Amino acid sequence: MSALQSISGKNNAPGSESYDVVVVGAGFAGMYMLHKLRGLGLSVRVYEQGGDVGGTWYWNRYPGARCDVESMQYSYSFSDELQQQWNWSERYAPQPEILRYANHVADRFGLRSDIQLNTRVDRAAFDESENSWSVATSDGRAVSAKYVVLATGCLSNARTPDIKGLSGFKGQVYHTGHWPHEQIDFTGRRVGVIGTGSSGIQLVPVIAEQASHLTVFQRTANFSIPARNAALTEAEREAFRAKYPEIRRFAREEARNGIYTEMPDRGALDDGDDERRAKYEQRWSRGGLTFMSVYNNLALDKAANDTAANFVREKIAEIVKDPQTAKLLQPNNHPIGSKRICVDTDYFAAFNRPNVTLVDIRSNPIEEITANAVRTGGKDYQVDALVLATGFDAMTGSVAKIDISGRNGQTLNQKWAAGPKTYLGLMSAGFPNLFIITGPGSPSVLSNMIVSIEQHVDWITDCIGYMRRRGFEAMEANTVAEDHWVAHVNEVAHTTLYPQANSWYMGANIPGKPQIFMPYIGGVGVYRQICNEVAAKGYEGFAMTAAETQKMAASS
């Protein structure tokens, strides 16, 4: 089948399935991508390795899992009917509700018929003579597609640490990112939690209420702000809905992180001690991620940042009764906000319970896990169950698991060996017609992800529409444009305090991973403008080729 024929629709002859677009992943990104591509009249196949849609919210079912961007904002904006009709029950919806929402979207927009579940994409190879991709899936199929869109998620490759003896542990081992579907009851059990990032901080207070004893193994103390979660009233939902046009516009165009909030016009050192403290107190009482937007220089100026960090450290000392434990829980090795700031419900207070112990594994790393204990500092902590809240190989982990080869047989893993290289986080030179949603080099994990997902999906859809209208067969990032973008992403990151932390933004949680600041920190509004300008200039920095040009070049 020629490339031109394949673009006109799918061919389901045995052994030669062909689609205009293969989308990998059926989380919020993959589902919206499917919806939009259908609008162009394209044939689309979505492959999802999980047993249902929802991505993050399908996999992360641990106790206490919920969003940390408020639900009225952590939701799709593309359908006004949807946002007017869906009733979020709480300020921060719990995981089951977000998963119900994802399923509702799949049903409401009739997406399921083009989503193949329980199917992993293992390989994708670009065929230069046909300008199309051959995609191999875990059910043994080989399909061809003009375009491949990686909607594989930034936090979807759960990381299990390499700890001596883990496989010989006789109790149950759970990973927060692969939580079982059945209810796990820890009542009466001795539980060990390894990891105190966002997931650990959410689950510790919940498991503490069930377990006979909970031992929390902490390598890095993290900053966390109280969520102040509460049920939403109908009046609150209505007030929000009435303001949706402005809230969504602001989140897309003006906010740095895709969240509607006041924009600070002052730096932390512009206020005196009392005034500054009053502002921090006010944000602490309000709760949530907007704590960091009280001043405009907390991510830029260490002295300014210290004022916020000290405030949170003081709060921890006020909440936690045992001074030794409080000291251990006070973050002291990174600026506040330079690692993803956590949002919690009674995390620090959980350490006042007699059945909760904090163990410092920075001073005394875990030596080994025995049949029924975690050994550190020469001491055995007996546990019946272990919870690994050890995070993800972020941003590149799920992409790297797919064997992707582009022009001249070069693999994406070879190209990214020293760190990911993309133009705008959307494409990588040498890999034509391969798009990434919220890829490295885009704001992605530094933002309300649904805002970033919708922007990428809309841009990719417009781009494919443009190519089709003008008869372009292949599109690819230019190496020069890509190099400039990578340098720009790096340069902007280094004007901030972010690179000072050993964070997963830097790949620092994965042994051997190159330490590059991966997301684009310029802000979603600025980034959107750059993407729009690139498109308005005929996709500047990308090369588009028409079929005939390719064939003539090949035959000359």
Ligand X SMILES: Cc1cc2nc3c(=O)[nH]c(=O)nc-3n(C[C@H](O)[C@H](O)[C@H](O)COP(=O)(O)OP(=O)(O)OC[C@H]3O[C@@H](n4cnc5c(N)ncnc54)[C@H](O)[C@@H]3O)c2cc1C
Interacting residue ranges for ligand X, rule: CB under 6 A: 24-30, 47-50, 55-56, 58, 60, 65, 67-69, 74, 120-121, 151-156, 199, 398, 401-402, 437-438, 448-449, 453
Cα-only R_g, the chain: 24
**Calpha distance 313→119 (Å, rounded):** 46
Taken in order 389, 395, 399, 405, the sign of the CA dihedral is negative
Contacts of 556 (CB under 8 A, 6+ apart): none
Length, in residues, of the chain: 556
Token pair, residue 135, equals 């995609």
Pairing of strands 356-360, 342-344: unpaired
| DSSP secondary structure letter of residue 511 | T
Token pair 């000072």 in the structure block, residue: 500
Nearer to ligand X, 178 or 277 (CB): 178
| Percentages of the chain per state (helix, strand, coil), in multiples of 5 | 40, 20, 45
CA distances (Å), 399 to each of 25, 192, 224, 258, 449, in order? 11, 31, 30, 24, 18
Shortest CB 399 distance to ligand X, Å: 8
What is the enclosing helix (H) or strand (E) of 375?
strand 373-376
Q: If you ran DSSP here, which 8-state letter would residue 138 be given?
A: T
| Largest interatomic CA distance in the chain | 79
What distance in Å separates the CA atoms of residue 67 and residue 57, rounded to the nearest whole number? Answer: 9
- What sign does the CA torsion over 334, 337, 343, 348 have? positive
Rounded Cα–Cα distance for residues 25 and 76 (Å)? 17
Q: Which residue has the tokens 């885009």?
A: 442
Q: How far, in Å, CA of 100 to CA of 89, rounded? A: 12
Which CB, 55 or 432, lies closer to ligand X? 55
